[in-house]
Amino acid sequence: MQTRRLSNDDYNELCQWWAAWGWEAPVPKDFLSDTGVMVSEENVNICAGFLYTISNAPVGWFTFPVSNPAIRGVARKKAIQIMISEIEKIAKDNGIKYLYSSLRIQSMIDAQKSAGFIEADKNHTELLKII
């Protein structure tokens, strides 16, 4: 499997994946971080995720992970672990000591837990206001 940085050309595919997984609306393109990772195999994109950095603390936000709904089983699980590892590597290279993530999909929660993330609070609500 290969990893690469996401490009603007990936946005439409990501929107299709988010829709297939039941997201009410895609993440607006201008809301996405410039630091995103795509994992693929044999020219088939499998999963992607984004890293946001915070300038006044050694904290990164790993978010909007999504996978190709046509890829299942071991291949998808392996790709997700590779994506998490690549995000972590990029974070470390940028001086980030703490990765924050907020998820609702149990399989992605399980994947991040197996990669060393800890569950801080089960009763947390994430809110967003567009200003």
Q: Tell me, what's the pLDDT at 55?
A: 83
Low-confidence ranges of the chain (pLDDT < 70): 103, 105, 121-131
Q: Tell me, what's the pLDDT at 123?
A: 66
Please give the domain boundaries of the chain with CATH numbers for all domains.
2-114 (3.40.630.30)
Q: How much is the pTM? A: 0.84
Chain centroid, CA 95 distance in Å: 19
Q: Tell me, what's the pLDDT at 130?
A: 62
**Per-residue model confidence as pLDDT tens digits over 78-114:** 999 999 999 999 999 999 998 888 767 677 777 777 7
Return the exposure string of 11-23: e unless at least 16 CB atoms fall within 10 Å of the residue's CB, then b: beebbebbeeeee
Instruction: Identify the CA nearest to 90 among candidates 35, 128, 24.
Output: 35
